[in-house]
Amino acid sequence: MRIQTFSIVVGTRACDARCPFCVSKMTGFGEIPRNREINTRNLGKASLLAERSGATTVLFTGKGEPTLYADEITAYLEALQARRFPLMELQTNALAIGRLARDGDSGTKLTREHLKDWYRLGLDTMAVSVVDIHPGPNQAVYTEDYPDLSETLAFLHEHGFGVRLCVIMHAGAVDRPERVEEVIDFCRSRGVEQLTIRPVRRPAKTESLMASQWVRENALSDAQIDAIQGWADERGTLLMSLMHGARIYDVNGQNLCVSDCLTVDAENNDIRTLILFADGRLTYDWQHDGALLLGGRAPVAG
């Protein structure tokens, strides 16, 4: 068995965005309690499993927005200092980071000291989720008070982080090869190290009919997805094929990963992402409650 990524779920379902296609609302595992301690026992077990299965990347992610729990991110980074994961990344909508860049430390609970600590403790890459490079679509999806994206990216670079721009493609935004090419030009001009594009998806089993309906009405067609994939094959140089079909290209010097969301390959025992919750639940799929390796029950005291 191989594991591609070790994902650690930070915080609760709380979020500072209002995405109509929210994957967290559509996928399972219930509520995440507040004010809970990290299950360090299961963190150690999960880290060992990930290491022995070849995982090279730790991804801090969330069922909500991780940067709302900056101290928890720091605690995880400190707990992982004894492990041997060469790459550590944070997946974020970057709203708090953008406001920090724009307004300074007074505007958010996230501070520059958090960013400095994260970099010192080994965080390498900020995976910033967007739907476009233009403010209008991002304001419509995330929040009206959407910080300037170029300023946010420059701020992260100033603090030493690499950036992966993660574009969630949907109709009316990045939905055709010409728009992908525009995003590539934007990334190249701003020194964005990595770019990932993926179509918005809804899981086979959903817990939010409203979010699923939005996806159904705004998802790219198969023809649109094929056109974008064909353009990448024609214009890019294929560098690597990853687990579950993701393909990485060089397009005129810009890194481009063409990927998909929520894929399950039941015929393969390789794990795309090993997922650990703070209470110790360890799973390998966001959609299915049965994909459970360890439960999250705390031992009885005394």
- Position 299 in a domain: no
Burial of 117 by CB count in 10 Å (0-12 exposed, 13-18 middle, 19+ buried)?
A: middle
- What's the CA angle centered on 196, arms 124 and 223, to 5 degrees? 170
- Position 302 in a domain: no
Burial of 37 by CB count in 10 Å (0-12 exposed, 13-18 middle, 19+ buried)?
A: exposed
Q: Which of 297, 283, 298 is nearest to 27 (CA)?
A: 283
- In tens digits, what is the pLDDT along the chain, a chain of 302 residues? 788 899 999 988 888 888 888 776 666 555 565 556 889 999 999 999 999 999 999 999 998 999 999 999 999 999 999 888 999 999 999 999 999 999 988 667 899 999 999 999 999 999 999 999 999 999 999 999 999 999 999 999 999 999 999 999 999 999 999 999 999 999 999 999 999 999 998 776 666 678 888 888 999 999 999 999 999 999 999 999 987 789 999 999 999 999 986 545 555 567 888 999 988 989 988 777 788 899 876 665 54
- Position 223 in a domain: yes
- Position 15 in a domain: yes
Helices and strands (H and E) in the chain: how many:
10, 12
pTM of this structure = 0.90
The helix or strand, by DSSP H or E, that contains position 20, with its residue range, turns out to be none
Residue 7's domain comprises: 3-294
Burial of 241 by CB count in 10 Å (0-12 exposed, 13-18 middle, 19+ buried)?
A: exposed
Count how many domains the chain has: 1
222: CATH: 3.20.20.70
- Position 247 in a domain: yes
- Position 268 in a domain: yes
Distance from the Cα of residue 48 to its chain's centroid: 22
The helix or strand, by DSSP H or E, that contains position 227, with its residue range, turns out to be helix 222-235
Which segments of 190-286 are extended strands (E)? 194-199, 237-241, 247-251, 254-258, 271-276, 282-283
- Position 216 in a domain: yes
Residue entry with tokens 């209002």: 18
- The pLDDT value given to residue 22: 75
**DSSP 8-state code for residue 45:** H
Phi, psi for 61 (deg, rounded to 5): -135, -165
- Position 300 in a domain: no
What the block records as the tokens of 105 is 């430390």
CB 274 within 8 A of CB 34: no
